[in-house]
A and B are shown apart, each in its own frame.
Chain A
Amino acid sequence: MSVAGTQSGWDSFATVAQTKRALEARQVSAEELARHYLARAEILNPTLNAFITLDPERTLAEARAADARRARGEDGEAAPLLGVPVAHKDIYLIEGWRTTCGSRMLANFVAPYTASVVESMTRAGMVTLGKLNMDEFAMGSSNETSYFGPVRNPFDLNRVPGGSSGGSAAAVAAGLAPATTGTDTGGSIRQPAMFCNLTGLKPTYGICSRYGIIAFASSLDQAGPFARTAEDCALLLNAMAGHDPRDATSLERPREDYTRRLEEPLAGLRIGLPREFFGEGVDSGVLAAVEGALEVYRALGATTVEISLPNVKYSVPAYYVVAPAEASSNLSRFDGVRYGHRAAEYDDLLDMYKRTRAEGFGAEVKRRILIGTYVLSHGYYDAYYLQAGKLRRLIAEDFKRAYAECDVVMGPTAPETAFAFGAKSDDPVKMYLNDIFTICANLTGQPALSHPCGVDAQGQAVGLQIIGNYLDEARMLAIAHRFQQATDWHMRRPALEPMRASMAGGAA
Chain B
Amino acid sequence: MSAAGIPRGWEVVIGLETHVQLTTRSKIFSGASTAFGAAPNTQVAFVDAALPGTLPVMNRGAVERAIRFGLAIGANVRRRSIMARKNYFYPDLPKGYQISQYEAPIVEGGAITFTLADGTTKAVRLVRAHLEEDAGKSVHDLVPNVSGVDLNRAGTPLLEIVTEPCLASAEEAVAYARALHGLVRWLDICDGNLQEGSFRCDVNVSVRRAGEAKLGTRREIKNLNSFRFIEQAIAAEVRWQIAELEDGRPIVQATVLFDPASGETRAMRSKEEAMDYRYFPDPDLPPLVVTEAEVEAMRAALPELPEAKRLRYVTELGLPAYDAAQLVTDRAMAEYFEAVLAAGAEAKPAANWLLGEVAAALNCEEKSIEACPVTPAQLAGLLARISDGTISHKIGKTVFEALWQGEAASADAVIEARGLEQITDAGAIEKIVDEVLARSATQIADYRAGKEKALMSIVGQVMKASGGKANPQQVNEIIRRRLANGG
Query: How far, in whole Å, are A212 and B91 apart by their CA atoms in the complex?
Result: 23
Q: Does A106 contact B (CB under 8 A)?
A: yes
How many whole Å from A303's CB to the nearest CB in chain B? Answer: 38
- Give per-residue flags for A321-357: 1 if the beta carbon is below 8 A from chain B beta carbons, else 0: 0000110110111110111000000000100010000
Q: Given A332-B89, A335-B89, answer yes or no on A377-B55 (Cβ-Cβ < 8 Å).
A: no
Q: Given A332-B95, A353-B89, A377-B276, answer yes or no on A214-B286 (Cβ-Cβ < 8 Å).
A: no
Interface centre among A109, A215, A217 (most CB of B within 10 A): A215
Q: Given A219-B283, A246-B57, answer yes or no on A93-B52 (Cβ-Cβ < 8 Å).
A: yes
Which residues in chain A, 92-134, are within 8 Å of chain B measured between CB atoms? 92-93, 99, 101, 106, 109, 111-113, 115
When distances are taken between beta carbons in the complex, the residues of chain B under 8 Å from A246 are 55, 57
When distances are taken between beta carbons in the complex, the residues of chain A under 8 Å from B149 are 337-338
**Contact A333 B52, beta carbon cutoff 8 Å:** yes
**Contact B284 A339, beta carbon cutoff 8 Å:** no
Q: Does A432 contact B (CB under 8 A)?
A: no
How many whole Å from B130's CB to the nearest CB in chain A? Answer: 18
Indicate which residue in B46, B52, B94 contacts A109 across the interface (CB closer than 8 Å). Answer: B52
- Give per-residue flags for B277-293: 1 if the beta carbon is below 8 A from chain A beta carbons, else 0: 01110011110000000
Q: Does B56 contact A (CB under 8 A)?
A: yes
Q: Does A218 contact B (CB under 8 A)?
A: yes
When distances are taken between beta carbons in the complex, the residues of chain B under 8 Å from A328 are 87, 278
Q: Does B49 contact A (CB under 8 A)?
A: yes
How many interface residues does B have (CB within 8 Å)?
28
Indicate which residue in B94, B96, B285, B286 contacts A329 across the interface (CB closer than 8 Å). Answer: B96
Q: Taking CB as reference atom, which chain A residue is nearest B29?
A: A248
**Contact A337 B286, beta carbon cutoff 8 Å:** no
Indicate which residue in B56, B85, B276, B284 contacts A378 across the interface (CB closer than 8 Å). Answer: B276
Query: How far, in whole Å, are A218 and B97 apart by their CA atoms in the complex?
Result: 14
Indicate which residue in B55, B87, B96 contacts A210 across the interface (CB closer than 8 Å). Answer: B55
Which residues in chain B, 117-140, are within 8 Å of chain A measured between CB atoms? none
- Give per-residue flags for B259-274: 1 if the beta carbon is below 8 A from chain A beta carbons, else 0: 0000000000000000
Query: How far, in whole Å, are A332 and B275 apart by their CA atoms in the complex?
Result: 15
When distances are taken between beta carbons in the complex, the residues of chain B under 8 Å from A483 are none
**Contact A248 B58, beta carbon cutoff 8 Å:** yes
When distances are taken between beta carbons in the complex, the residues of chain B under 8 Å from A248 are 55-58, 284-286
Interface centre among B54, B55, B149 (most CB of A within 10 A): B55
Q: Does B50 contact A (CB under 8 A)?
A: yes
Which residues in chain A, 373-394, are within 8 Å of chain B measured between CB atoms? 373, 376-378, 381, 385
**Contact A376 B50, beta carbon cutoff 8 Å:** no
When distances are taken between beta carbons in the complex, the residues of chain B under 8 Å from A301 are none
Q: Does A211 contact B (CB under 8 A)?
A: yes
Query: How far, in whole Å, are A65 and B258 apart by their CA atoms in the complex?
Result: 62
When distances are taken between beta carbons in the complex, the residues of chain B under 8 Å from A338 are 49-50, 94, 149
When distances are taken between beta carbons in the complex, the residues of chain B under 8 Å from A337 are 91, 94, 149
**Contact B52 A99, beta carbon cutoff 8 Å:** yes
Q: Does B53 contact A (CB under 8 A)?
A: yes
When distances are taken between beta carbons in the complex, the residues of chain A under 8 Å from B57 are 245-248
Query: How far, in whole Å, are A353 and B276 apart by their CA atoms in the complex?
Result: 17
Q: Does A304 contact B (CB under 8 A)?
A: no
How many whole Å from A484's CB to the nearest CB in chain B? Answer: 33
When distances are taken between beta carbons in the complex, the residues of chain B under 8 Å from A339 are 51
Q: Does A47 contact B (CB under 8 A)?
A: no
Q: Given A246-B55, A248-B285, answer yes or no on A329-B87 (Cβ-Cβ < 8 Å).
A: yes
Interface centre among A214, A337, A377 (most CB of B within 10 A): A337
Give 8 A-B pairs besides A247-B55, A248-B284, A349-B91 with Cβ atoms closer than 8 angstroms: A217-B283, A248-B56, A332-B87, A332-B95, A332-B96, A335-B96, A338-B49, A376-B279
Some 22 contacts from A to B, beta carbons below 8 A apart, are: A111-B53, A113-B46, A113-B51, A115-B53, A211-B54, A218-B284, A219-B283, A247-B57, A248-B58, A248-B286, A249-B55, A249-B284, A328-B87, A329-B87, A329-B96, A329-B280, A332-B95, A333-B52, A333-B94, A335-B89, A338-B149, A381-B280
Residues of B within 8 A of A (CB): 46, 49-58, 85, 87, 89, 91, 94-97, 149, 276, 278-280, 283-286
